[in-house]
């Protein structure tokens, strides 16, 4: 065969080898993906699954009252109750609309701050204590606890809630409480096909560390998207933040408002809920008025004159803010940075699959608070292996009722679940109860417990508060030096 043909034959063979190699790599990746899916299938169907530990150990003195299947709760229905505001307290910052322009290229670094956040439980709330004394209602809870119960059919990880049932001359009372550090940290990929592995406790992607990272991101994000108090007025309510100590500096407290709302339930019951709001928004017309006033003040300052107080236009709307975070090393190179701007719907759909319970709870909290808008932020690690530094890659506003329909969250089902639980509890004699989620099954267990249960736990937290680590100081911040202590107490 001529030399040229021989070379041509070799080149053709090389092409075939390359095609075969590419096909082999493709098949290998496809087989690996198939094997991962099969492992997940076997883990779910045939018991080869991670056995999680319960959130609380059931003692021999606990009396079992009732067992409930979580899938059955999805069938519960109750009418949406009439609601009215009772008390508004705290202060809010105004939303910075520059964050509407953020995209992957024009991202912003997530800034750290040392603001204090308060996550007091129901019975530690002085406003709720006063409202209970004045008989403003007979059932009391916080929005975090109530939203968790309403979204409980989507939960996977174990949890528990403490309920106190009291009898007085004026009637029956229910107080829904959480234990120390329960429900304070946000879960990450709880409902994912392959949730974060808990095999290595030192891994930065351990579920516990991811939960602290997500809570830290959430706290930083809610404050960063607000205008600085030096550049914009604050929406201050007549009653200040009820959890701020006298020793706390005003500038060290996170801008948060608490909206206490009263819901008229069936059978003469009234529910009082403490809800959180994260910011105030203006319409486009109102924004123009404020911009002109701010520009005028800048000119006055340039001339050495005192700026005038900016009058806040009427008709301001309240908002809540939450942050989704991207953490998986395998997806950071080809994930949100490549898809968020062009395929935001696909990104949200993936998050709805992986974080169904968390998104349902956020939506329920927004609906309970009566907020007009819910802001979702998309926050990603700068590096796959650094959980301390993050970028805000995008934001999106959603109308709460429309978003609830989008994620298949029924308001009548939300209230049906809560109505079902309150009927069971009000029918019990006075005492203390614990509602727990089975760590490995879709089952709820209700127990009657001795009145002194968890009292030692409460005294321990009280003693630790002297060193500045009480339950109301910086939920989601780490005590160790890992970069997430920015929200820690003083």
In angstroms, rounded to a whole number, what is the distance separating the alpha carbons of residues 430 and 166? 5
User: At residue 227, does pLDDT exceed 80?
Assistant: yes
The first and second tokens of residue 10, run together, are: 């070799």
**CA 489 to mean position of chain CA atoms:** 20
pLDDT band at 19 (very low <50, low <70, confident <90, very high): low
Average pLDDT score over residue span 348-373: 96
What pLDDT does 481 receive? 45
Range with the lowest mean pLDDT among 92-96, 124-128, 221-225, 477-481?
Answer: 477-481
**CA 18 to mean position of chain CA atoms:** 49
Range with the lowest mean pLDDT among 199-203, 218-222, 319-323, 407-411?
Answer: 199-203
The first and second tokens of residue 126, run together, are: 């002085």
- The mean of the pLDDT values for the chain is 84
What pLDDT does 80 receive? 96
Residue 335 DSSP class: S
pLDDT band at 457 (very low <50, low <70, confident <90, very high): low
In angstroms, rounded to a whole number, what is the distance separating the alpha carbons of residues 331 and 350? 12
User: At residue 473, does pLDDT exceed 50?
Assistant: no
% of the chain exceeding 70 in pLDDT? 79
pLDDT tens sequence across 234-277: 889 999 999 998 777 878 899 999 999 999 999 999 999 999 99
User: At residue 37, does pLDDT exceed 90?
Assistant: no
In angstroms, rounded to a whole number, what is the distance separating the alpha carbons of residues 375 and 234? 19
Per-domain residue ranges of the chain: 1-49, 50-487
pLDDT tens sequence across 52-94: 899 999 999 999 999 999 999 999 999 999 999 999 999 999 8
What pLDDT does 105 receive? 92
User: At residue 475, does pLDDT exceed 60?
Assistant: no
- Describe the strand order of the beta sheet including 108-109 as a list of residue ranges: 108-109, 386-398, 373-383, 317-326, 279-281
Dump the DSSP string for 278-320.
-EEE--HHHHHHHHHHHHHHHHHHHTTPPPPPPPPPS--EEEE
pLDDT tens sequence across 312-343: 656 678 999 999 999 976 655 568 988 899 99
The first and second tokens of residue 179, run together, are: 């234990």
In angstroms, rounded to a whole number, what is the distance separating the alpha carbons of residues 396 and 377? 7
């Amino acid at each position: 065969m001529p030399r040229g043909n021989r070379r041509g034959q070799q080149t053709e063979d090389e092409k075939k080898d390359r095609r075969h190699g590419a096909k082999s790599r493709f098949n290998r990746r496809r087989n690996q993906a198939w094997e991962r899916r099969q492992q997940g299938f076997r883990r779910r169907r045939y018991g080869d699954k991670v056995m999680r530990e319960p959130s609380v150990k059931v003692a021999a003195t606990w009396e079992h009252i009732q067992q409930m299947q979580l899938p059955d709760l999805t069938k519960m229905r109750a009418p949406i109750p009439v609601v009215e505001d009772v008390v508004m307290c705290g202060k809010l910052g105004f939303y910075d609309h520059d964050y509407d322009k953020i995209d992957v290229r024009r991202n912003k670094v997530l800034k750290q701050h040392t603001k204090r956040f308060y996550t007091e439980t129901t019975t530690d709330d002085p406003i709720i204590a006063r409202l209970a004394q004045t008989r403003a209602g007979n059932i009391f809870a916080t929005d975090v606890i109530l939203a968790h119960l309403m979204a409980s059919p989507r939960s996977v990880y174990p949890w528990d809630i403490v309920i106190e049932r009291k009898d007085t001359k004026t009637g029956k009372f229910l107080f829904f409480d959480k234990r120390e550090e329960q429900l304070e940290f946000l879960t990450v990929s709880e409902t994912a096909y392959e949730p974060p592995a808990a095999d290595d406790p030192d891994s930065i992607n351990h579920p516990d560390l991811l939960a602290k990272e997500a809570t830290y991101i959430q706290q930083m994000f809610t404050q960063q998207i607000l205008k600085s108090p030096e550049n914009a007025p604050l929406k201050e309510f007549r009653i200040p933040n009820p959890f701020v100590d006298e020793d706390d500096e005003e500038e060290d407290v996170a801008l948060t408002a608490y909206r206490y709302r009263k819901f008229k339930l069936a059978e003469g019951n009234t529910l009082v809920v403490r809800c959180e709001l994260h910011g105030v928004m203006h319409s486009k017309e109102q924004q123009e008025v404020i911009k002109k006033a701010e520009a005028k003040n800048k000119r006055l300052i340039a001339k050495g004159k005192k700026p005038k107080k900016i009058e806040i236009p009427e008709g301001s709307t309240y908002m809540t803010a939450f942050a989704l975070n991207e953490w998986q090393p395998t997806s950071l190179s080809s994930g949100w940075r490549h898809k968020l701007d062009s395929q935001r719907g696909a990104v949200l759909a993936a998050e709805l699959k992986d974080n169904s319970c968390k998104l349902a709870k956020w939506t329920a909290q927004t609906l309970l608070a009566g907020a007009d808008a819910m802001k979702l932020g998309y926050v990603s690690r700068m590096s796959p292996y650094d959980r301390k530094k993050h970028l805000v890659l995008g934001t999106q506003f959603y109308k709460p009722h429309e978003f609830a329909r989008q994620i298949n969250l029924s308001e009548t089902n939300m209230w049906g679940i809560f109505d079902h639980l309150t009927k069971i509890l009000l029918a019990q004699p006075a005492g203390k109860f614990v509602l727990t989620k089975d760590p490995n099954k879709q089952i709820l267990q209700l127990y009657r417990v001795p009145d002194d249960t968890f009292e030692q736990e409460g005294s321990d937290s009280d003693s630790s508060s002297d060193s500045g680590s009480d339950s109301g100081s910086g939920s989601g911040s780490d005590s160790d030096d890992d970069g997430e202590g920015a929200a820690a107490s003083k």
